[in-house]
Chain A
Amino acid sequence: MSAAAAVAGVVQLVGGVAVAPLIPGTVQNLKARLQGRPGPSPLQPYRELRRLWRKSGVAPSPRTIVYELAPATVAGSLLIALVLLPIGGRSPGWPVGNDALVLVGLLALGRFAITLAAWDTAGGFGLMGASRELTFAIAVEAVLLLVLVLVALPGGSTDLLALSAQATRPAVWGEPAHWAAALAFGLVVLAETGRQPVDNPDTHLELTMVHEGPLLEYAGRELAYLQWAAAARHWIVLVLATDLFIPHPGPFVAQVAVLAGSLPVWCALLALCETTQAKMRILRVPLFLGAGGAVCILGLASWFAGGGS
C-alpha cells in the first residue's frame, strides 16, 4: 500500500466521520447569510452531536429489536459506504471493494432500516415521512443508475477508482453526455440530501417532513447516529460528485486539494439552490427526478450521435 493510498484511507475515515457534519453546518450558515441573517456557526452540528451523545435514549413501549437496530444499521451502512469512495483517485484496499452499485445497495439498506423503524413505533408522522421517502427513492435509484450508465460509457467499468481516474482526462468534458450526467446527478444530490425543492430540512411541521419523519421517535445516541447519517449522506454524494464530474488532473496531493476546494463550492451551490427555490409538491417530485432521467437518455443519444468511443 503506497503512502498516497494510506493517506486516502485516513481522509476517507476522518473526513467522513469527523468532517462530514461540517457540510450541513456550512450550508445552513451560507443560507442564512443569503437571507440576510448572521445564522448559526458552521460548527453547530458538532455541538448538537455532542449534546445528543451525552443524553439517554428513549424506549417507547410497543417496540421490537428493529427500533434498536435501525439507527445502528443506518449509520453502519453509511460508514461502510464512506470507505467505498476513492479520495484523490486512490483507496487502500478495504475488504469492501470499490463498486458503485454496492454503494447504491448500501444506501438502500439504510433507507430500508429507518423506514422499517417507523412501522415499529407506528407513529403517524413517521409513517407519512417513510412512505414519501420510499416513493422518492424509486425515481432516485432509477436516475442514479442512468447516471452511472452514462459515466461508465467511456471506460466500460463501474469501478469507482476507474471512474475517478477517467475524470482526470479533460477530454471527457467535450462530451455532452457527461454534462447531461452531471445535471441529472445534481438532481440526485438534491433528493439524497433532502434539500429543497425535494424536501425542506428546516421544517418543523411534521406533516411536511420526508427524511425527518421517522427520526421523531428517537433521542440520545440513536438520534446522534441518525443526524450524523444525514451529514454523511451529504459527504458521500458531494465527494462522489467531485470524483466523477470535477476534472482533477495531476498528482495525488493536487487531487486532494481539488476535493477540499470543491466542497465549499458545492455547499454554496446547495445554499443558493435552497434559497432560490420553494419546496415542490410531493406528487411532482418523481416527475422532477424523472426529468433528470430524460436528460440522461438524451445524453446517451448524443454520445452515439457524436460517434462514441
Chain B
Amino acid sequence: MTGALTWALVISALGVVVVRRRSLALALVALQSLLLGVHAISGASGQSTALLVAGAVLLAKAVLLPAGLALVVLRTREARWIASERHPLARLTLALAVALPIAALVPRFGLLHPGTERAAVGLVALGITTAVVRRGTIFQALGFLIAENGLYLAALSAPGGLPAFIELGLVFDLVVIVSVAGVFSAKIHEQLGTGDTSLLGGLRD
C-alpha cells in the first residue's frame, strides 16, 4: 500500500468536506472507490481469487453507487446554495479537529503499517464528520460511503487480506437499500392503498 494512495484517499475525503457542489463531492467519492478497487485487483493478481472478486466488487461500487446518486442529484436541483451551511474553512477546521486526535490516539490493531491504520481510522472519522458538518442530505450518504471506504482500506491492508469483509459490507449496503425501499413501499401503500407504481404517475402535477 503506497503512501501516495493513502494520501490520495485522505485528501479526497477532506475535499468532500470542503467542496460546495454535490456533483464534485460525488466524483471524489467515486475516485476513492476506484482507487481502492484498482489497488485490490493489482495486489490480488497471482493470489487468491477472493481478493480479485473483492476488487471487482469495489469497482462496481465505484461506478454504480455514484451513478445512482448522480441521478438523484440531477433530479433534485437546488435553486440556491443551502444557506445554513458553514463556511468551508470552518468545516475543514472542524473536520481536522475531530479526525486528527482520533487518528493519533488509536492504538495499533494489527495492520501492516501504522500509517495505514491511522489513515483507515481517519477515513472513518472523516466520514462521520462529513455527515455531521454538512447539511445537505446527499452528504449524509456520502459520509457513510467514505466511512465504509475507510473500513475497506483496513480490510485490504490486514495481513492476509480480508476480502470477505468487503463482501459483507456490500451485503450491508444492500440491506440498507432494501429496507429503505421497503419503507417507501409501505408509505406509498399507506397513501394510495395499493403498491401499483403506475399510479405514481398521478403524483406529478
A and B touch in the complex (CB under 8 A): no
Q: Which residues from chain A sit less than 8 Å from chain B, CB to CB?
A: none
